[in-house]
Amino acid sequence: MASELRVNTLKDAAGNNSIATSFVANGSAKAWHHYNQSGTLATVDSFNVSSAADGGVGITRTVYTNALANVGYAVSGSHNLPSGNTASWVSGYDNSADFTTGQVTCSTFNAGSGRVDATKAMMSIHGDLA
Amino acid sequence: MSEILVNKLTGTSTAGSILVTGEGNSTTTNLQQGLAKAFCSIELDDTILESLNATSFTDNGTGDITHTLASAMSNKNHVTVGYNIRNNNGGTAWSGGYGNSSDTSSTSTTARIYHLNASNSPEDQRRAMMVTHGDLA
């Protein structure tokens, strides 16, 4: 049988640096995804990600292994560009159907030419697990 | 009220893997993988306001920062995301991953991030922030 510890608060051995276990659960990232959009979409590294889908240039859907409790979770991201080092950013996709408890679609943008495939695209989510 | 005093948490089956029951009281999430492994907030004058495992950085030029990670990641595939508060010029700014497809500036011990304004130009920000997720070595 797996060992299980039920506790409300964690402190260091000196009794300092107290943190409620609710912060451990709430504060942990529930998923992160590093992927390469160039050519065939490829996951480089991930946590709680079951699959990814290429929706076109600069559009990637990340599907979670374990779903979130609701669609109130937070998404953040970053990426490079295939060439050069000009401005770029990650943002949400076009409509709410692409932002559910089980998946999110992110767009990667180049400031000058709209969506772009990146070789190093990254995203993470924080929120409540179902 | 239950309370445990401890300096180190280690899994029993796998040392680096502890499950935490999620907010919905059923699904579990991996404690080690979910924790941010580094974060840093830097003021315009290069003062580090607060940080975890990112105790120093290199200013590579305008808007271009390489953070040094005190405890190394297992590889260079970590996820590093950022955010800015723009300088006193106001307006929009954002953070991007640095480098092209052959760039190797992010390693297991470094995370490089680019901060830019809406005019597509690198810019030193009033406050530049980053968070790194991934596996520690």
Give A33-76 pLDDT, tens digit per residue. Answer: 999 999 999 999 999 999 999 999 999 999 999 999 998 898 88
Residues above pLDDT 90, as percent of chain A: 45
Interface test with A, best of B133, B135, B136 (most A CBs within 10 A): B133
Distance, CA of B106 to chain centre = 12
Q: How far is CA B78 from CA A45, A63, A68, B86, B130, in A?
A: 7, 19, 22, 26, 12
CB contact under 8 A, B98 and A85: yes
- pLDDT bin (cut points 50, 70, 90) of residue B57 is very high
What's the token pair of residue A90?
A: 């990650």
> Would you call B14 an interface residue with chain A, using a CB distance cutoff of 8 Å?
no
Instruction: Establish if A59 belongs to a structural domain.
Output: yes
Residues above pLDDT 70, as percent of chain A: 88
Candidates 2.40.160, 2.70.98, 2.60.40, 4.10.860; CATH matching B36-133: 2.60.40
Segments in chain A forming alpha helices (H) = 21-27
pLDDT of residue B119: 72
* Stretch A12-17: mean pLDDT: 89
Q: How many helices (H) and strands (E) does chain A have?
A: 1, 11
Is the pLDDT at B89 greater than 80, yes or no? no
pLDDT of residue A17: 86
Which A residues 3-32 touch B at CB under 8 Å?
3, 5-15, 21, 24-30, 32
Which B residues 57-76 touch A at CB under 8 Å?
75
CB contact under 8 A, A8 and B3: yes
ipTM exceeds 0.90:
no
CB contact under 8 A, B80 and A78: yes
Residues above pLDDT 70, as percent of chain B: 88
Total count of domains within chain A = 1
Instruction: Establish if A36 belongs to a structural domain.
Output: yes
pLDDT of residue A94: 65
Q: How far is CA B108 from CA B37, B52, B71, B79, in A?
A: 12, 16, 9, 11
Q: Burial-class residue A72 by CB neighbours within 10 Å (0-12, 13-18, 19+).
A: exposed
- pLDDT bin (cut points 50, 70, 90) of residue B92 is low
CB contact under 8 A, B27 and A112: no
Instruction: Establish if A20 belongs to a structural domain.
Output: no
pLDDT of residue A85: 54
Query: How far is the C-alpha of B78 from the C-alpha of A73, rounded, in Å?
Result: 21
What is the extent of the structural domain holding A99? 29-126
Whole-number average pLDDT of chain B: 86
CB contact under 8 A, A8 and B36: no
Is the pLDDT at B21 greater than 80, yes or no? yes
Element (H, E) at B31: helix B31-34
Q: Which residue has the higher pLDDT, A90 or B43?
A: B43
Is the pLDDT at A113 greater than 90, yes or no? no
- The answer to whether residues A129 and B24 touch, using CB atoms and an 8 Å cutoff, is yes
- The answer to whether residues B126 and B103 touch, using CB atoms and an 8 Å cutoff, is no
Query: Can you give the residue ranges of every domain in chain B?
Result: 36-133
CB contact under 8 A, B95 and A6: no
Is the pLDDT at A130 greater than 90, yes or no? yes
